[in-house]
Structure 1
Amino acid sequence: MCTSETFRALDTFEARSDDIVLASYPKCGSNWILHIVSELIFAVSKKKYTCPEFPVLECGDAEKYQRMKLFPSPRILTTHLHYDKLPQSVFKSKAKILVIFRNPKDTAVSFFHFHNDVPDIPSYASWDEFFRQFMKGQVSWGSYFDFAINWNKYIDDENVKFILYEDLKENLVVGIKQISEFLGFSLTDEQVRTISAGCTFQAMRENSQETHGAIGPFLFRKGEVGDWKNLFNETQSQEMDERFKACLAGTSLGAKLKYEPHCLA
């Protein structure tokens, strides 16, 4: 999915000031946020957002970035890369970056089901096997905690906006309004409520085959907060707690993740 040739070509990618970058570790809600931002663009421009390329910036052939020069603005660029692995043009252009995080326990469980449900990608014999690999960072796109530690350095930058998956689940209207304001879009409260009604996780799941084809139902499986309790045993839960404490306790991102109510309750 991510070849060395593509990564070399990515260094030459030309970002625009009105590009919208959606950064996340896998299974933290990137497809959900992509749909929300697409609907915001439609609300302000009346133009349906389309992207003929695979939406993850680092995935595809090396000629992808030349083709993307022809895409109309604004472009939505999703990525699972660390901040310091993004093309330099993203920072020079001062493109807006939305960073989506989800608590690590639910992220791990969602990632496990994704691997085992989606055809043509590696599966795991058991949850225990996947958990061991996840904690080692030996899964697609590497370690959740390495990703978090890297983004923590920049999470309060002016052009970066942090979005918590669990906050969107709790109050989608407020979350969409915050995203809209960060992107500089001027929407009425009625427009925000309309977008929210069509962007609930349930609505996304019901329309997933239409929007994402056969893979849709796997992208929007449950979307629950606390699903980790169905798979984690006590030892695994404690191991994750200790890793979180060692990596993120006392950091700006660690506080924003609200680990205690979502992962210790």
Structure 2
Amino acid sequence: MSSNPLLTKMQSRMQTAKEMSDEEKLYRFNGVLYPSLMCPEEHLKALDGMKAREDDVMLVAYPKCGFNWMVGVLRKIIAVATGETTESRMPPLIEFFGPDVLKVMDEAPSPRFLGTHLHPDNIPSSFYEKKTKLSLMIFRNPKDTLVSFYHFSNNNPVLPSVQSWESFFSQFMSGDVPWGSYFDHALAWEKKMDDPNIMIVTYEQLKQDLNSGVRQISGFFGFSLSDAQIEQIAGESTFNAMKQSSTNSHGNMGNVIFRKGEVGDWKNHFTPEQSREMDEAFSRHLGGTRLGTILNYQQHCQ
């Protein structure tokens, strides 16, 4: 059994999930679906009173856009830059915390490492008031995001069983998946791109040049690293390296969270009709936007 209390609690909840019906595993809060075991309503309500700090390190991403990969990268950046180990700072999703953990976080030393999958309008207002650095890091092309979300849901006991690829595709396109619509998240972040406290990095950019990504991310958060330190962190932070060490960091969920990490895996799943439907949705929602341009949809999805 892990000595990490949050990881231990997560593993316990996964055991509980095996005795629950699919209908019990999700609920709606303000119109959005959430996993009832991992972030019940009392957790989300408790976030209203969460007190942000200006020096919080905040990682924000829609599910399956590379969040857990970047958790590992940021842990290494913080450890190298500050000399502090981050072993005890486990999955930083604030919606998983609950009232008791939030009290502990109020007393935690700075810099606190936090994260969320929440829609930007649902992130506690204190993070905007304190001008905390919010890095939407990362956004990923929607086709690969959908595929990763499908496999994650299919192998995660705290989420309902996936009936079929076709049914999950429809649910994703309509936004009836945990944490809501990909396109709703994308459009909300598109409106915040001029905020100097928000940085957007794409999964595809990081896969292509992780060294540059580590340099950009560390600079954004105000951490000063040498070229040698950046190269070391990037070398230890490839997706494959994270996957190999995931048993220690994520227990039995390691192989579920870190599956392939490929760009273009959508081609092994989408039918031509589904590909066209996603192309049309992307054009309708994000065509001509700055985020749409950054995602480079033409290169990765057509």
Q: Does TM, scored on the shorter chain, surpass 0.5?
A: yes
Unmatched tracts of structure 1, length 5 or more? none
- For 1:58, the aligned partner's letter is E
Contact 1:54 1:60 in 2 (8 A): no
Of residues 65, 71, 77 in structure 1, which corresponds to 2:108?
Answer: 71
* Stretch moving more, 155-164 or 63-72: 63-72
Q: Given residue 67 of structure 1, which amino acid in structure 2 is its aligned partner?
A: V
1:114 to 2:152 alignment: yes
Q: Which AA in structure 2 matches 1:119?
A: P
Q: Which residue of 2 aligns with 1:257?
A: 295
SS at match of 1:62: helix
1:145 aligns with 2:145: no
The equivalent of 2:132 in structure 1 is 95
- Return 5+ residue gaps in structure 2 as ranges: 1-37
User: Which residue in 1 is equivalent to 2:221?
Assistant: 183
Matched, 1:217 2:218: no
Other-structure match for 2:4? none
Shift of 1:4: 2.5
Deviation of 1:190 (Å): 0.3
**Is the aligned partner of 1:10 residue 2:47?**
yes
Given the alignment of the two structures, is residue 128 of structure 1 paired with residue 166 of structure 2, yes or no? Answer: yes
Paired positions, count: 264
- Is it true that 1:61 corresponds to 2:108 in the alignment? no
Residue in structure 2 matching 1:81, options 111, 118, 124 = 118
TM-score (norm 2): 0.85
- Superposition deviation, residue 246 in structure 1: 0.6
The yes-or-no answer on 1:196 pairing with 2:234 is yes
Task: Note if 1:26 corresponds to 2:70.
Answer: no
AA partner of residue 104 (structure 1): P
In the TM superposition, what whole-angstrom CA distance separates every residue of 1:238-258 from its partner, at most 9, and x where no partner exists?
000000011011111111111
Work out the CA distance in 2 between the residues paired with 1:249 and 1:22.
26
Offset, 1:121: 2.2
Offset from partner CA, 1:44-79 (integer Å, 9 cap, x none):
111111445652111242332112112111111111
Question: TM-score under structure 1 normalisation?
Answer: 0.96
- Kindly indicate whether residue 257 of structure 2 is the aligned counterpart of residue 228 of structure 1: no
Letter in 2 for 1:40: I
The C-alpha deviation readout for 1:7-42, integer Å capped at 9, x for no partner, is 221011000111011111100011111111110111
* Contact 1:42 1:49 survives alignment (8 Å): yes
8 Å CA contact 2:150, 2:165 repeated in 1: yes
**Residue matched to 1:39:** 76
Contact 1:53/1:64, CA 8 A, preserved across alignment: no
Tell me the amino acid that sits aligned with residue 211 of structure 1.
S
Deviates more, 1:115-124 or 1:11-20: 115-124
Taking every aligned residue pair, what percent have the same amino acid on both sides?
48
Taking the aligned partners of 2:98 and 2:80, their CA distance within structure 1 comes to 32
SS at match of 1:71: coil
Corresponding position of 2:28: none
Contact 2:80-2:229 within 8 A present in 1 as well: yes
Structure 1 runs of 4+ aligned residues shifted over 4 Å read: 51-54
Q: Report SS of the residue matched to 1:94.
A: coil
1:154-169 equivalences in 2 (<5 Å): 154-169=192-207
Let me know the Cα RMSD of the aligned residues.
Answer: 1.2
